[in-house]
Amino acid sequence: MVPPFPLSAGLPERLVVEGEFGAEVNSFVPFVYWLHLTGLMRGRQVCTYAGMRPFYFFLADGEIAEEARPRRYVPPPARPAWLPNRDDHAARRTGFEVFPDYRRHFRDGAFAGDKPLLVIHNKATAEWSGPPVNVIPLPILDRLFGALTGRFRVVYLRPGIHGTPCGYSADHQPDLPFDDLAVLQRHPEVVLFDEIAAERAGRTGYNETKLRLYAHADFHITVQGGNAHLLTMFPGGMVAILHRLGQEIRHSYRDGPFGYAAAPRPRWLICRNPDELLVTIPLFRDAVMADGQALLPPWHCHALRMLSPAAQCGDDRMMPDDLKAKPPVPFSV
């Protein structure tokens, strides 16, 4: 087999990661795992960002180094020529990548409980040098909490809610003020992830705690970005993604790693606006897990088709109609 990238020209001994979190877990981690499984990591070292060690659990200590440096976006042509997929938004399956099964490795029973876990992951960051676009608004967050806490143990996660946490590998976009703590006060049954991370700080770091929590959570509501890419490596379950704007809608959800990184792949629900996110509430309430897959009764078939990657993705759906009509409005809560 001839590699579709110039591996024969020489793979460096030091594999330096540069780029956003989503690109690292989407393209870099699976290549390094392939190198590890084939023995090609011998004599080499990955140099990544501080806090990323748990994502490379398969490497020996001498094969990985972490550096406290800020992430930055790196255009695909400027990424290493030896990567099988240099563009994380146009990635296709190759024979030179193996996606680790984080659910199997990190599931240790620590977060087992009498109710299924549902993690809601939000962000409030500057996007494309402008205001937040892919953010779950406060009224929608309030309705999600109220509707789902009866069925689930709900954990809420927004990086930056109490400042940059220790051990968190942040991207270059700054976090912006967002009053979700006020919403949480109205729903005391919702657990803030930062509290879980603080309680476990003496045993596991921020990212390892997150991976162990995710390994026990079959249900997620998230937003476009790096966290959605991470969830591709947790088989089964059901994930709703609020995607208002971003390159993933062209290819990634339908034809990229979201479809092949895990087996069975998660059941993806692509929501192009907050109202579609509310449509997922009865689906989450009625979903059951069987043999590692999320099953739903037949009366939800219309909603499943409407929110499927096949229906929601494509070049003509790059931008929702309301964002085509005018640029994103200034951010407000």
Q: Concatenate the DSSP letters of all residues of 119-167 into one string.
A: EEE---B-BTTBS--S---HHHHHHHHHHHTTTSEEEEE-TBBTBSPTT
CB 98 within 8 A of CB 33: yes
Instruction: Specify the higher pLDDT residue, 171 or 148.
Output: 148
In what side-by-side order are the strands of the sheet with 45-49? Answer: 14-16, 45-49, 64-67
pLDDT, position 331: 42
User: Are 5 and 84 in contact, with CB atoms under 8 Å apart?
Assistant: yes
Task: Give, for 189, the enclosing helix (H) or strand (E).
Answer: none
Q: How many residues does the chain have?
A: 333
Query: Which one has a higher pLDDT value, 43 or 332?
Result: 43
Residue 124 pLDDT:
94
Q: Is the pLDDT of residue 47 over 50?
A: yes
What distance in Å separates the CA atoms of residue 237 and residue 45, rounded to the nearest whole number?
A: 34
3-state secondary structure (DSSP) of residue 176: coil
Residue 1 binned pLDDT confidence (cut-offs 50, 70, 90): very low
Does the reported pTM lie above 0.85? yes
* pLDDT, position 28: 97
- pLDDT at position 134 is 96
Residue 238: helix, strand or coil by DSSP?
strand
**What is residue 85's predicted lDDT score, i.e. its pLDDT?**
96
Q: What pLDDT, on the 0 to 100 scale, is given for residue 322?
A: 74
How confident is the model over 170-198, as pLDDT tens digits? 676 778 889 999 999 999 999 999 999 99
**How does residue 9 score in pLDDT terms, banded at 50, 70 and 90?**
low
Across residues 232-251, what is the average pLDDT? 96
Query: Higher-confidence residue: 236 or 170?
Result: 236
- The mean-pLDDT minimum among 42-56, 86-100, 203-217, 315-329 falls in 315-329
- Bigger pLDDT: 102 or 10? 102
Instruction: Enter the tokens of residue 256.
Output: 């990229």
Distance CA 46, CA 77 (A): 20
Q: How confident is the model at residue 2 (pLDDT cuts 50, 70, 90)?
A: very low
Here the tokens at position 90 are 């146009």
Q: Which of 212, 199, 127, 197 is nearest to 163 (CA)?
A: 197
Strand, coil or helix: 188: coil
154 exposed, middle or buried (CB, 10 Å; 0-12, 13-18, 19+)?
Answer: buried
* pLDDT value at 5 more than 70: no
What distance lies between CA 76 and its chain's CA centroid? 20
Q: What is the residue-averaged pLDDT of the chain?
A: 92
Q: CA-to-CA distance for 88 and 249, rounded, in angstroms?
A: 12
